[in-house]
Structure 1
């Protein structure tokens, strides 16, 4: 039988996932306040794993834990997103260059290739949620292929805020066909061992993506309040 600690850890992980989904879907809207007891009842679990999950999500910038007042769901900060995209642009572009320098075999790049195929299939089917999931997987795998564990950690810490902003703007933006083309070009440069092209194409891609996202957030501030 699992120990009490193991059960608590499992429940905390479930609470993190459930709370994240509620925040991303807007069921827990930005600016709203919630007591731990309310959230625990909503998730059908005790307050302890909910508290542990809230502390983790606070560190990821999704909510604020307030003593004796429960939690407040934080709005999407345009300033935060600008800073996050600036950091990710630099780190992921470096990862793309490093991956090219490593001269990976074809099988080593298969996961990256699959994410692009998944993105293309999702767009063909008009499934934006599937596209966003595959896009997240692409960026995660690109960071891993760069071979710097600290880049992977930093990118993961910022990932939730990026996913939340993308979820808010997913149906406001044009179909991201150019994004898929950019991803394909990055992989081709990595496969060819062309570090400069891999870096420059990804840098331009991330810069353009930031401009689209920030403009949409500025035009639709109601979604962040």
Structure 2
């Protein structure tokens, strides 16, 4: 039983990583024989992994048809973004109350440095990856393991769609996002919870509006 569970976990992590990275496009069907060959596993742990992914609304198991990667509507992405932003707001408050040092938040500082390099290089993909690392870092540093687990789980669900949405943002918006993140970092280090919450809320509202506008202009309804 232990071996079976570990295989399921391995299959779950591997398949989820492929989907999040955008290697399997939405609305496409997963090639189970190919997955079995790639992972060197039987179909049982892979199907169990698919059941978990269906629970997370990442895939849809369609009888007699296959397993389809679920796309996100823009409305769904906005709804998930609101949920995650609310959770991250609490994480920001928790971090401020922990009075962390620059050494403590080094992963976040590295993410900001990567975002800056990506902006200079006009590298959209690198920027999106660094941005994701920054936001995940807020959950990791917040000190509440349940909040971290829930927040990271939600980010997993929308990461692929969010990365695609970010690819449509102009570089000027990415530059402003970097400035906002740096401002947040400074007030977090100062332990100023009120300012941190205000900066974070303003940023979330702004980035949400930016995404909504750019996707509407391009008549994109699903990701």
| Shorter-chain TM-score tier | 0.7 to 0.9
3-state SS of 2:67 partner? strand
Relative to structure 1, the CA distance from residue 18 to residue 183 in structure 2 (aligned partners, 3 Å threshold; closer, same or farther) is same
Aligned counterpart in structure 1 of residue 119 of structure 2, from 111, 117, 123 = 123
TM-score using structure 1 length:
0.83
Alignment of 1:159 with 2:146, yes or no, is no
Structure 2: which 5+ residue stretches go unaligned?
Answer: none
What root-mean-square deviation, in Å, do the aligned CA atoms of Structure 1 and Structure 2 show? 2.7
Structure 1: which 5+ residue stretches go unaligned?
Answer: none
Distance 2:112 2:8 in 1: 37
Of 176-185 and 153-162, deviating more is 153-162
Q: Deviations over 1:135-161 (max 9, x none)?
A: 111111111222222221221121133
Q: State the 1:127 CA deviation.
A: 1.8
Relative to structure 1, the CA distance from residue 86 to residue 58 in structure 2 (aligned partners, 3 Å threshold; closer, same or farther) is same
Q: State the 1:199 CA deviation.
A: 0.7
Q: State the 1:205 CA deviation.
A: 1.0
Aligned counterpart in structure 2 of residue 96 of structure 1, from 92, 96, 100 = 92
Distance 2:30 2:101 in 1: 50
Any conservation in 1 of the 2:29–2:68 contact (CA below 8 Å)? yes
Q: Deviations over 1:112-132 (max 9, x none)?
A: 111111110111122221111
Relative to structure 1, the CA distance from residue 38 to residue 111 in structure 2 (aligned partners, 3 Å threshold; closer, same or farther) is closer
Distance 1:70 1:36 in 2: 9
Relative to structure 1, the CA distance from residue 11 to residue 160 in structure 2 (aligned partners, 3 Å threshold; closer, same or farther) is closer
Any conservation in 2 of the 1:99–1:146 contact (CA below 8 Å)? yes
Q: Deviations over 1:31-90 (max 9, x none)?
A: 334463465467775433432332232233221112343212212122222221111222
